[in-house]
Amino acid sequence: MSSTIQRIFIDEKLEPGLILKLSKEDSNYLANVLRLENGAKLKIFNEKYGEFLAEIVSSYHKACEIKILEKLKDTEKLLSIILGFAPIKHYRLCFLIEKATELGVTEFQPVITERTINRNVKIDKLFLTGKEASEQSGRIVTPKFHEQIKIEKFITSYKNHTILAAIESVDAKPFDFELDNDKVVLLVGPEGGFSEREKQLLLSQSNVKPVNLGPRILRAETAVCCLLSSINCKL
């Protein structure tokens, strides 16, 4: 079976033999963009049921119908990685979400800081980015997105966990931390960085460990990739 078979996230009950009617968006993508015809195979998946092979039984651009053929994979148990991030400009934010999804983030938590520019996060658009990145990267569990909160609330929400905070220009160790088995909590700041007050607030918390990502100042989206790559190397 070709590994280039299209994967589609479908948030419904998945079981061999079922006939499902796809959403307008997914139908349009399969019928018009990929021009798949009746009999074409695809993979469908979600966290609850796992991944299945399916075939198109009706390729109509507004309402494709597919038949589920067989189960391919059970759902996956991922390390829980929560990424607290200060929302940056939208097009760079989509890049951040896409790369972080590929690198295993399971929950996105927008964090509003003093220098956050984008204070009106469009969660539905970010969810679509996470969905598409999960389809492309072979993930079965798509990332979850939380409503934005202030940095103080983020710190108290995870007071019982270690928060690995990427803070530039402070005396901090490069990434060599042992990971908690059940949950890794990360925090990256906005384009303008954490304010001095926020840095002191973070450094004053016993559960916050500052992380040094090297001698240069990275863009927030680069810092996210750098931090997550360090974690992926330890898995």
Interface contacts to ligand SAH, rule CB under 6 A: 166-168, 188-189, 192-194, 212-214, 216-218, 220, 223
Q: How many CB atoms lie within 10 A of CB 113?
A: 22
Min dist CB 161 to ligand SAH, Å, is: 18
Residue 90 in tokens: 């939208």
Nearer to ligand SAH, 27 or 116 (CB): 116
Alpha carbons 208 and 180: distance in angstroms, whole number: 14
Between 58 and 212, whose beta carbon lies closer to ligand SAH? Answer: 212
- Nearer to ligand SAH by Cβ, of 111 and 140: the residue is 111
Q: How far is the CB of 116 from ligand SAH (least distance, A)?
A: 10
How far apart, in whole angstroms, are the C-alpha atoms of residue 169 and residue 216?
Answer: 9
Q: How far is the CB of 17 from ligand SAH (least distance, A)?
A: 49
Nearer CB in complex with ligand SAH: 132/221: 221
Output the CA–CA distances (angstroms, integers) from residue 161 to 15, 89, 156, 164, 182, in the order listed: 38, 29, 10, 9, 10
Question: With 0-12 CB in 10 A as exposed, 13-18 as middle and 19+ as buried, what is 154?
Answer: buried
Q: Provide, rounded to whole angstroms, the least separation between the CB of residue 158 and ligand SAH.
A: 16
